[in-house]
Chains A and B, each alone.
Chain A
Amino acid sequence: MSNLETAANPEKLRRVAIDPVSRVEGHGKVTLLLDDDNRVHQVRLHIVEFRGFEKFIQGRPYWEVPVMVQRLCGICPVSHHIAASKAMDMILGAEHLTPAAEKNRRLMHYGQIMQSHALHFFHLCSPDLLFGFSSEVARRNIVGVAAEYPDIARQGVLLRKYGQEVIRMTAGKRIHGTGAVPGGVNKALSREERDTLLADVYQMIAWSRDAVHLVKRLFEQNLEGYNAFGRFRAHQLSLVRADGAMDLYHGGLRARSMDGELLFDHFDYRHYWDKIFEDVKSWSYMKFPFLRSLGPEAGWYRVGPLTRVVNCDFIPTPFADKERRDFLAFDEGRAAGATLGFHWARMIEMLHAVECIKDLLQDEDIMGTELMVSGERAGRGVGVIEAPRGTLIHHYRVDENDLVTRANLIVSTTHNNQAMNEAVRQVAIQYLDGHEVTEGLLNHIEVAIRAFDPCLSCATHALGKMPLEVELVDAGGSRISALSRNADGEVAACA
């Protein structure tokens, strides 16, 4: 656990904190332990929040759950809304929804993907990418971007606004809406709403393509820096459609090893616990998911846009699929393994989401009137979707009086627990080790965390602050010497 046990004089180490990690969604802090020569001995990412959803939704009627669990997260409430609705579809025996119901839910979900990805890229991350990781702190925010790059900032705001409008029209509210219910939806799109959204959708597609190309240009301008930044290898997990296509709403689980080999494919998510376990540690409130076949030490994996774009066989919309192929081929595939490749993949997914929105708006079913189905009542429901940040698992048991008796939630950011720390550790080795700590260098650590778009609100639905260990220590000796070699010069290369 703690490699400090082998550190020579742990009491002499100096503690440097990044508190809170900013421009992420939720509470987090990073602690670095440094010695007198600024050698990094340890890095920890802590998430500082407690809430306890698994327990307090017990005793509530199952139809309340899709609305209640949205309070896990105000950034992607639709994701929890839909994952819970899918689980409750099973309770209601309604696994095959009407076309109008499934298409309206998909529309809501793509609106969510669009607004969340736009929020993350433009509002939270673009300042780092456009100004440089060590740029002036007061300028490093969306207001600063608006002053320097007004068109980019405005497009970001309007892309997000469009996604929010899609959500409002399908869910009733932009945040914490009520559109999806067990067995279907409450509301289909009206013709007027459909026409309003259609009027702007081609502009949204054009801006989304621009956003993909913007990330590509940023890679081209700083190829070595971007490819190397916080790079690490990881196993990958995501849903894919039966034909191998990217499908963010439904599919089977596919896991690949860090060498690209399939570990399992099209696995029925209703039995997810046959493949995924979670470890518990006394010093952390955050659980550690792992692939059962590989065990708790070696089985950690990565989820989210980068994984999905790489893990699927193709994207079933033309513009996004073309961008996917470009991305995978770029620099002989190196960008697709880079931590900052998350941004590129995220923008490809935003383009895919807008293309899907366009297709759904052109489908008469979206205005259908058959909204609800039901079937044979069951006692257990599992709903899994690909949320903006990755695979999201909701699992409930419901008693004969319709009350929830058990709940298990494995959220996207929790899957990335170990992966985020791996990235942070790499950045600490690459850029901080042996250097005098500056604000700009510390921001490099935050840039690595932001790449994952962690939703710390979601991740802390269970309980709290997680002093998550990223052993970054001098224990083995060889690693330390690797550190000092790596450290020189790279700071300048990145900024």
Chain B
Amino acid sequence: MNANGKPKLAMYWASACGGCEISTLNIGEHILTVDAVFDLAFFPCIADFKVKDVLGYPDGYIDLCLINGAIRNSENEEMVRLLRRKSKLLVAFGSCAYEGCIPALSNLTTRDATLRAAYLDNPSIDNPAGTLPQPHTAVPEGDLEIPFFYHTVKSLDQVVDVDYTIPGCPPEPHQIWAVLQVVVAALTQGGSLPPKGVLLGAGSVAVCEECALAKHEKAVARFYRPYQIRPEPGLCLLEQGLICMGPATLSGCGALCPQVGMGCRGCYGPLPGAEDQGMRMLTAIASILDVSGRPGDNELDLERKVEAAADTIVDPAGTFYRFSMAHSLLRRARTDGVEAAVPQPAVWS
């Protein structure tokens, strides 16, 4: 805390798209008076802070540090370790930091295949020598080093200790503002902070609970590809055979996507107590499959019907683990030892 009584705020991106910063700017006019509430300590998206400023801070100097983005390379890891040391409270902000987000679907493939797709196997590539970028390149002034691109996308809590998590891709601005107010009140007026490890800025029930679409008892015989069906407006999409992650996803966004005819993508992550969002969704799907079973039916026939219904789901891994792959029980596809050990990141003193 500064002598003026204002907490010191940092916001930094690891491997990210920038949407979390943009959502933070969407708190609107509040951003113009952010200095009335906080002293900025590091926020390179909007103000001219450099890494050397952070290196100069004593440990624990930053009161509240919001980190978005996943851990994708050694530099991401070095930076979040540094910021952890310099911060009293560290928040995993948004889906990438929380659970890997869509880019963590990269964990279904390998580092090598990813490099080849980008540099060798494309119609606009002019690369007759088959050149691939190298981690180290010798040039006359020394070694040009680039961060080690990890084999596996990791969530923030797999690398450093995390105090709170704000879910969402991105977190909705009203939720961000509410969380900031709670933390500021605790830091400046002596209130109590939320218990360590909790999710902030989200609801506590499934997205379905806050979704305005009409729901009935669900009994789905098969699932449809979007071009195979024109959904009835105003009616639950899952009931109509369109995959919607609502039953397995934490509320807090206001169920925005289903209101424009798109099933919930799942970006707020799993429900409390359900460690694995994909597994939870599979359970939900299983419970609504209508294969017209009756007591005494032939077990084998029922099994075939279930399989046929399940086969209408395209790309189950990419669908059920769309946002949560890095933090799921699966984590990544097996590589059978192809992927080498990860070098230790440098530690900044």
On A, residues with C-beta under 8 Å from B are 1-2, 4-5, 7, 10-11, 13, 18-23, 25-27, 33, 42, 48-61, 63-64, 67-68, 70-75, 77, 92, 119, 123-124, 137, 140-143, 146, 153-154, 157, 160-161, 164, 171-179, 181-183, 186-187, 272-273, 276-285, 287, 289, 296, 372, 374, 395, 401-403, 406-408, 410, 443, 446, 455, 457, 462-465, 467
A172→B257 contact, CB < 8 A: yes
Which residue of the partner chain, among A1, A55, A401, contacts B118 with CB atoms under 8 Å?
A55
Which residue of the partner chain, among B16, B108, B226, contacts A56 with CB atoms under 8 Å?
B108
Q: Is B20 an interface residue (CB 8 A)?
A: yes
A187 to chain B, nearest CB (A): 4
Which residue of the partner chain, among A56, A279, A467, contacts B114 with CB atoms under 8 Å?
A56
Which residue of the partner chain, among A5, A161, A181, A463, contacts B140 with CB atoms under 8 Å?
A5
A56→B48 contact, CB < 8 A: no
B2 to chain A, nearest CB (A): 13
Q: Please tell me the size bucket of the interface on B.
A: 35 or more
Query: A273-B123, A282-B131 are contacts. A457–B17 as well, Cβ < 8 Å?
Result: yes
A295 to chain B, nearest CB (A): 10
Q: Is B344 an interface residue (CB 8 A)?
A: no
B124→A272 contact, CB < 8 A: yes
**Segment among B182-190, B197-205, B259-267, B279-287 that sits at the interface with chain A:** B259-267
18 contacts between A and B (CB under 8 A): A19-B50, A19-B52, A23-B48, A55-B113, A56-B103, A63-B227, A71-B19, A175-B22, A278-B124, A280-B125, A282-B137, A403-B315, A408-B122, A408-B124, A457-B17, A464-B73, A465-B146, A467-B137
A55→B314 contact, CB < 8 A: no
A-facing mask of B111-141, CB < 8 A → 1, else 0?
A: 0011101110111111100011110010111
B13→A176 contact, CB < 8 A: no
Closest to A73 in B: B17
Query: A20-B51, A72-B17, A175-B19 are contacts. A408–B123 as well, Cβ < 8 Å?
Result: yes
Q: A23-B45, A171-B260, A464-B146 are in contact. List 15 more A-B contacts (CB 8 A).
A: A10-B141, A21-B44, A49-B72, A53-B103, A58-B109, A73-B18, A73-B19, A74-B23, A173-B256, A178-B265, A278-B122, A296-B126, A410-B124, A457-B17, A465-B75
Query: A71-B103, A161-B28, A187-B261 are contacts. A56–B109 as well, Cβ < 8 Å?
Result: yes
The CA-CA distance from A220 to B124 in the complex, in Å, is 43
The CA-CA distance from A330 to B90 in the complex, in Å, is 51
Query: A20-B50, A68-B102 are contacts. A455–B114 as well, Cβ < 8 Å?
Result: no
A153→B103 contact, CB < 8 A: no
Q: Which residues of chain A are near B73, meaning CB under 8 Å?
A: 49-50, 464-465
Q: Is B101 an interface residue (CB 8 A)?
A: yes
On B, residues with C-beta under 8 Å from A are 13, 15-23, 25-26, 28-29, 31-35, 40, 44-52, 72-73, 75, 101-103, 105-106, 108-109, 113-115, 117-119, 121-127, 131-134, 137, 139-141, 144, 146-147, 149, 169-170, 173, 225-227, 230, 253, 256-257, 259-262, 265, 267, 314-315, 318-319, 322
Q: Which residues of chain A are near B75, meaning CB under 8 Å?
A: 48, 465
The CA-CA distance from A426 to B207 in the complex, in Å, is 53
A54→B118 contact, CB < 8 A: yes
B20→A60 contact, CB < 8 A: no
A406→B121 contact, CB < 8 A: yes
B44→A75 contact, CB < 8 A: no
A277 to chain B, nearest CB (A): 4
Q: Which of A5, A154, A174 has the most CB of B within 10 A?
A: A174
Q: Which of B28, B50, B114, B133 has the most CB of A within 10 A?
A: B133
A60→B105 contact, CB < 8 A: yes
Closest to A15 in B: B141
A187→B260 contact, CB < 8 A: yes
The CA-CA distance from A407 to B33 in the complex, in Å, is 43
The CA-CA distance from A1 to B115 in the complex, in Å, is 22
Q: Which of B50, B119, B126, B140 has the most CB of A within 10 A?
A: B126
Q: Which residues of chain A are near B226, meaning CB under 8 Å?
A: 63, 181-182
Query: A282-B134, A408-B122 are contacts. A74–B149 as well, Cβ < 8 Å?
Result: no
Q: Which residues of chain B are near A11, meaning CB under 8 Å?
A: 141
The CA-CA distance from A387 to B259 in the complex, in Å, is 27
Q: Which residues of chain B are near A464, meaning CB under 8 Å?
A: 73, 133, 146-147, 149
Which residue of the partner chain, among A60, A61, A137, contacts B48 with CB atoms under 8 Å?
A137
B103→A443 contact, CB < 8 A: no
Query: A174-B26, A178-B262, A273-B123 are contacts. A92–B106 as well, Cβ < 8 Å?
Result: no
The CA-CA distance from A432 to B322 in the complex, in Å, is 48
Closest to A187 in B: B260
A277→B134 contact, CB < 8 A: no
A25→B18 contact, CB < 8 A: yes
The CA-CA distance from A21 to B50 in the complex, in Å, is 8
A208 to chain B, nearest CB (A): 19
The CA-CA distance from A52 to B226 in the complex, in Å, is 26
B18→A74 contact, CB < 8 A: yes
Closest to A275 in B: B124
B51→A186 contact, CB < 8 A: no
B17→A74 contact, CB < 8 A: yes
B232 to chain A, nearest CB (A): 14
Q: Which residues of chain B are near A54, meaning CB under 8 Å?
A: 114, 117-118, 122
The CA-CA distance from A100 to B348 in the complex, in Å, is 55
Closest to B267 in A: A176
Which residue of the partner chain, among A21, A58, A75, A177, contacts B22 with CB atoms under 8 Å?
A75
B141→A13 contact, CB < 8 A: yes
Q: Which residues of chain A are near B16, meaning CB under 8 Å?
A: 74, 457
The CA-CA distance from A285 to B132 in the complex, in Å, is 8
A69 to chain B, nearest CB (A): 9
Closest 10 CB pairs of A and B: A74-B19, A172-B260, A178-B262, A186-B261, A146-B32, A55-B117, A283-B137, A52-B114, A141-B47, A74-B17
Query: A56-B109, A92-B227 are contacts. A463–B114 as well, Cβ < 8 Å?
Result: yes
The CA-CA distance from A408 to B16 in the complex, in Å, is 20
Query: A157-B28, A280-B119, A282-B131 are contacts. A22–B22 as well, Cβ < 8 Å?
Result: no
B46→A172 contact, CB < 8 A: no
Q: Which residues of chain B are near A23, meaning CB under 8 Å?
A: 44-48
Query: A22-B47, A142-B46, A457-B18 are contacts. A285–B124 as well, Cβ < 8 Å?
Result: no
The CA-CA distance from A146 to B47 in the complex, in Å, is 13
B159 to chain A, nearest CB (A): 16
Query: A13-B141, A22-B44, A124-B46 are contacts. A282–B18 as well, Cβ < 8 Å?
Result: no
A424 to chain B, nearest CB (A): 17
Query: A50-B149, A56-B105, A408-B124 are contacts. A61–B13 as well, Cβ < 8 Å?
Result: no
A143→B50 contact, CB < 8 A: no
A25→B45 contact, CB < 8 A: yes
A193 to chain B, nearest CB (A): 12
A277→B101 contact, CB < 8 A: no
Q: Which residues of chain A are near B114, meaning CB under 8 Å?
A: 52, 54-56, 463
The CA-CA distance from A71 to B33 in the complex, in Å, is 29
Q: Which residues of chain A are near B225, meaning CB under 8 Å?
A: 61, 63, 402
